[in-house]
Structure 1
Amino acid sequence: MKLINIFAFILIFFVIGSNSLKILGVFPTGSKSHFAIGKAIVDALHDAGHDITVMSPFPQKKPLERYRDIDFTEIKDKYEKEMNINPFDFGKMPIFMMVPMMSTFGMGVMDDILSYSSVQELLKSKEKFDVCIVEIFFMETYMALAEHHGCILIGFTTFNAVGMIDEITGNISPTSYVPMPFLDYTDKMTFIERLWNTVYTQYEKILFHVLEVPIQYRIYRRHFPDAKKSFYEMVKSPAIIFQNSHVSTSSPRPYMPNVIEVCGIHVKAAKPLPDDLQEFLDSAVDGAIVFSMGSFIQSKNFPIDKRNALLNVFGRLKQKVLWKFEEDLPNKPKNVKISSWLPQRDVVAHKNVKVFITHGGLLGTTEAMYEGVPLLGIPIFGDQKMNMNNAVAKGYGLVVNFDDITEEKIESALTKLLNDPKYFETAQSLSKIFNDRPMTPQESVVYWTEYAYRHKGAEHLKSAGSDLYYFQLISLDVYFVLFLIFVVNAMIDFYVVRYLYRRFFRKSSDKPSKKQKKN
């Protein structure tokens, strides 16, 4: 019997081992919210039995088996000190400056990361992997790691489709109803909004080809001198794109078959809360409000007048308020509890939470959508305004812009969200749509990653559109030729008509009449 058990164990070991993939995750941005999506993707793959190596500035605190970190925290810390960005000032930056700024910054960081000692050690080792998963966010050169390590490439984005995804996949984003993420539009745009959305979309494409490509090409050739693919071939080589979006949180739009939506990938089963938070929320018999501005934006940096406006409103509520506030808050009302850190996913899941006040980041809004909790948004920058405008358009959220925070506006918005049942009912309805899927986001990630590997890059999923230039993809060349044909034909018709007029009508009109002949 023991021999049979040992044999069964050995058999299972080899079966699992033979199906295990070596996966390299490349998550270079210094944003915890971006990293959270990449980490959730590789966690799902790790849970499925695959071996994980992760390049990021956020190494694990507790080592795991089959999970290795290639850490470059030093680079992140260096740039955070040099940049010293105030997120509230960042939100006031004109939209046409934001993209080139982020692009230039990203490419500078990319060169430093690829030169960093631990990354160079990996590059020089030429260790073989089966799959490389790379975040796509103004730093496409990291995709070259897939060819360098002899593996299939998979990309992911932390929000809805950006212009770069269209470049990679041949996807089409009609500017008439697909807003760019950094614009605060929904899919139902006015003429002026459609005009600006079109202009901004083309502006991003021009920036990529004129500003980014020359710089990234030099970085690409410097760090990957033996690469056989051209820069454009490398950029268009992902087998699959995982995208942090879903129709319930954004809007319906076309995608190519290799673009897989995995919104909610970071949302796991709610865990028990720390005793103090559990007791506070359990005792909220009239309901509770959770207030968090995420990891990058800190509530302690709110101007005093806006902070006091919020506290005055909270003090008049019968609901309890749990606020992520990073320092001591004197004179706070009795119904307000502050904490420098919150297990956000877990507190939003508490049955007594009636409203979530948020900056509108996609992680927090997704967690609220998962639980069916209405939103009050205070968006600052990036895709936050678009996320919150979607919540308003769908009927489960309201917005108070940061510059407009007053007691009257905050109190009016909270009164509506707490007392009008339509917001809660809509949030619950959309939550059912969000969770009603054939596979969970985690299952989708595992299935499609293994699918791409099984089918050696899944070339059959790739559209021929990805091989076309943009003007070919939208048939500008065809329309131009048709326009020329129309112009030439119109000119020919004009000259023919003029000739016939001169040949027959003008000559006959020039002949003298009988009266003229008599005279």
Structure 2
Amino acid sequence: MRFIYFVVAVLSTICIQVNGLKILGILPFPSKSHFAIGNGIIESLVDAGHEVTVMSPYPQKANRKNYNEIDVSKILEIFESDKHEVNPFVFGKFPAVGVMFMLTKMNTDIVDLFMANNEVQKFMNEDHKYDICIFELFLVDSLMGIAEKTNCILVSFTTFAAVRWTDDMTGNDSPTSYVPNPFLHYTDRMSFKERLWNTAFSLIERGIYHGYYMPRQRALYSKYFPNAKRSFEDMYFNTSIIFSNTHVSSNTVRPSMPNTVGIAGIHVKPAKPLPADIQEFLDSATDGVILFSMGSFIQSKQWPIEKREAFVKTFGKLKQKVLWKYENETLPGNPGNIKISSWIPQRDILAHPNVKVFITHGGLLGTTEAIVEGVPVLGIPIFGDQKLNMAKSVMKGYGLQINYDDVTEEAVTESILELLNNPKYKINAEEISKRFVDRPMTPQESVVYWTEYAARHQGASHLRAQSTNLNFIEFHLIDVYCTLLAIFVVIGYLKFVILRMILRRIFRKSPQKQKRS
């Protein structure tokens, strides 16, 4: 009997295995940090043996049998030319509402550029069928029409830890009392004033999203996919799985639907050997090294002179060496302990035991890499979710932050010395690192499992909540509360009328009794 059970179990396992899925990756956004998350997902699926085709501005030219690319790097050329006209430090001062409108306009242009690409046009004019489409959720939802055309199951991902528009797609509830908006810099421990603005801004964001953004995406969907069998709304609410760049150890605790899977760290690969010059620089730093990088979008050479000098003068007073991602060949006033480079293998450097502090803009990829290696961080957030990421690092005790306007020699010196000399930051960073890697599956394994799960169960519709079929009033029970309030008012009014009638009768009878007596 046991043998029969064993045979049945083996046969069942064989039946539910999914081998050789045909997968299409749609990664349109021209940002290296966004692409890093998408590429981590794609590589995990390629390594699992699935056949993957990727539409991306960053062709990898990987020579693998099961990997193909559709080159849309023309978008990147246009985006890069526009980007150089924007000073990121000025952009960081835009109000959050303005950023929302700007992203909506920019991403509408990205959809047009993407669909106008010759390679994409060629693809759309051919007949393709895929099992799964991997799609980035970042305000380009009309491009879900490509998944509709290829008749595939939609699996999406987001580079943000918590995004309100994914809540709308899954029917998830994110109470603004303790779930901070990613465009703000709050944690889950908000004061009354912060809860008030968090709620107000989230309502404004929802208004912009549904009143300004969604109509434009519907129009783009109709424009580029006029023969689609499924409507824009059908595709929008039809995502099987959403991979979120988050993990409870590094993020705040918040509600999450069963079809939302955290994969923070998907881009982090095992550390590779360093270039010889960097290896020698780090090995020789007996007092430790400070790594300074503001990511790919923000260039250190764009720092105003007075703020750049604040760092240079501070570094000159330290016994530690400094490795600075600096995009010029020379650094004015270099005190001698600073090594500059226009490009650095950031993830691999953070793995070196001599790295003591990581100065960063607070991007989620860099802070995640620091968490993996247990390195304390000093953040100078500029825009986007950077302020939120750094606020969490301060709250969890493994980092400090300086607002851009407050960057001075005194502030930088005080913060770096605090991180170097107070052991609590290193202890906290190492503890969070342990929690971050302690999970039943690696991010790569989670991606493969849940993608195959969606394929095994024909889109896994059983994971999607029925709340997606409710509008804002129904979802928040506003109609129910109004009805209950009306009922209470009517009952209260009837009680008042009845009580008044009773009192009138009593007072009418009372004088008559007095006269008779």
TM range (shorter): over 0.9
Counterpart residue identity of residue 265, structure 1:
I
CA contact 2:22–2:52 (8 Å) conserved in 1: yes
Per the alignment, residue 397 of structure 1 pairs with 399
The secondary structure found in structure 2 opposite 1:334 is: coil
Per the alignment, residue 361 of structure 1 pairs with 363
Counterpart residue identity of residue 408, structure 1:
E
Cα deviation per residue 1:115-166 (whole Å; 9 max; x = unaligned)?
A: 3221111111131111101100111112222221011100100011211111
Q: Where do 5+ consecutive residues of structure 1 fail to align?
A: 1-14
CA contact 2:74–2:117 (8 Å) conserved in 1: no
TM norm structure 1: 0.93
Matches within 5 A, 1:95-494: 95-327=96-328, 328-494=330-496
Alpha-carbon distance in structure 2 between the residues aligned to 1:503 and 1:123: 83
CA contact 2:221–2:232 (8 Å) conserved in 1: yes
Give the Å deviation of 1:114. Answer: 1.5
Per the alignment, residue 45 of structure 2 pairs with 45
Q: Which moved more, 1:62-71 or 1:266-275?
A: 62-71
Counterpart residue identity of residue 187, structure 2:
T
The secondary structure found in structure 2 opposite 1:330 is: coil
Per the alignment, residue 80 of structure 2 pairs with 80
Alpha-carbon distance in structure 1 between the residues aligned to 2:413 and 2:71: 45
The secondary structure found in structure 1 opposite 2:238 is: coil
Q: Which moved more, 1:479-488 or 1:300-309?
A: 479-488
Alpha-carbon distance in structure 2 between the residues aligned to 1:412 and 1:200: 34
Cα deviation per residue 1:393-430 (whole Å; 9 max; x = unaligned)?
A: 00000001111011111111111100000000000000
CA contact 2:171–2:466 (8 Å) conserved in 1: yes
Alpha-carbon distance in structure 2 between the residues aligned to 1:491 and 1:100: 47
Give the Å deviation of 1:97. Answer: 1.1
CA contact 2:241–2:260 (8 Å) conserved in 1: yes
Alpha-carbon distance in structure 2 between the residues aligned to 1:509 and 1:205: 62
Alpha-carbon distance in structure 2 between the residues aligned to 1:341 and 1:460: 46
Q: 1:502 to 1:244 in 2, by over 3 A?
A: same
Give the Å deviation of 1:494. Answer: 2.0
Give the Å deviation of 1:508. Answer: 4.4
Give the Å deviation of 1:212. Answer: 1.4
Alpha-carbon distance in structure 2 between the residues aligned to 1:401 and 1:122: 46
Alpha-carbon distance in structure 2 between the residues aligned to 1:424 and 1:155: 35
Give the Å deviation of 1:69. Answer: 1.7
Cα deviation per residue 1:317-376 (whole Å; 9 max; x = unaligned)?
A: 111110000002133111110000010000011010011000000000000000000000
Please tell me the root mean square deviation across aligned C-alpha atoms, in Å: 1.8
Per the alignment, residue 11 of structure 2 pairs with none
Per the alignment, residue 10 of structure 2 pairs with none
Alpha-carbon distance in structure 1 between the residues aligned to 2:511 and 2:342: 97
The secondary structure found in structure 2 opposite 1:182 is: coil
The secondary structure found in structure 1 opposite 2:125 is: helix
Alpha-carbon distance in structure 2 between the residues aligned to 1:460 and 1:96: 36
CA contact 2:30–2:79 (8 Å) conserved in 1: no
Alpha-carbon distance in structure 2 between the residues aligned to 1:145 and 1:486: 51
Give the Å deviation of 1:281. Answer: 0.4
CA contact 2:18–2:456 (8 Å) conserved in 1: no
CA contact 2:18–2:452 (8 Å) conserved in 1: no
> Where do 4+ consecutive residues of structure 1 move more than 6 Å?
none
Q: Which moved more, 1:240-249 or 1:52-61?
A: 52-61
Q: Which moved more, 1:235-244 or 1:218-227?
A: 218-227
Aligned residues: 500
Q: 1:172 to 1:513 in 2, by over 3 A?
A: same
Alpha-carbon distance in structure 2 between the residues aligned to 1:343 and 1:203: 40
Alpha-carbon distance in structure 2 between the residues aligned to 1:126 and 1:212: 30
Per the alignment, residue 58 of structure 1 pairs with 58
Give the Å deviation of 1:502. Answer: 2.6
Give the Å deviation of 1:485. Answer: 1.1
Q: 1:18 to 1:374 in 2, by over 3 A?
A: closer
The secondary structure found in structure 1 opposite 2:183 is: coil
Alpha-carbon distance in structure 1 between the residues aligned to 2:510 and 2:412: 82
CA contact 2:42–2:52 (8 Å) conserved in 1: yes
Give the Å deviation of 1:207. Answer: 1.4
Alpha-carbon distance in structure 2 between the residues aligned to 1:263 and 1:33: 13
Q: 1:510 to 1:145 in 2, by over 3 A?
A: farther
Counterpart residue identity of residue 347, structure 2:
R
Per the alignment, residue 495 of structure 1 pairs with 497
Give the Å deviation of 1:512. Answer: 9.7
Q: Which moved more, 1:77-86 or 1:23-32?
A: 77-86
Give the Å deviation of 1:504. Answer: 2.6
Cα deviation per residue 1:479-514 (whole Å; 9 max; x = unaligned)?
A: 121111112112222222222233333x24666965
Alpha-carbon distance in structure 2 between the residues aligned to 1:305 and 1:162: 36
Q: Which moved more, 1:53-62 or 1:39-48?
A: 53-62
Counterpart residue identity of residue 39, structure 1:
N
Cα deviation per residue 1:175-230 (whole Å; 9 max; x = unaligned)?
A: 11100101100000011111111111121222121111211111111111121222
Give the Å deviation of 1:70. Answer: 1.3
Per the alignment, residue 6 of structure 1 pairs with none
The secondary structure found in structure 2 opposite 1:19 is: coil
Alpha-carbon distance in structure 1 between the residues aligned to 2:80 and 2:486: 54
Alpha-carbon distance in structure 2 between the residues aligned to 1:498 and 1:27: 70
Give the Å deviation of 1:34. Answer: 0.5
Q: Which moved more, 1:316-325 or 1:246-255?
A: 246-255
Alpha-carbon distance in structure 2 between the residues aligned to 1:459 and 1:375: 41
Q: 1:174 to 1:18 in 2, by over 3 A?
A: closer
Alpha-carbon distance in structure 2 between the residues aligned to 1:77 and 1:493: 73
Alpha-carbon distance in structure 1 between the residues aligned to 2:339 and 2:82: 34
CA contact 2:357–2:420 (8 Å) conserved in 1: yes
The secondary structure found in structure 1 opposite 2:451 is: helix
Counterpart residue identity of residue 219, structure 2:
R
Alpha-carbon distance in structure 2 between the residues aligned to 1:509 and 1:367: 86
Alpha-carbon distance in structure 2 between the residues aligned to 1:56 and 1:48: 21
The secondary structure found in structure 1 opposite 2:133 is: strand
The secondary structure found in structure 1 opposite 2:53 is: strand
Q: 1:18 to 1:266 in 2, by over 3 A?
A: closer
Give the Å deviation of 1:474. Answer: 2.2
Give the Å deviation of 1:62. Answer: 4.6
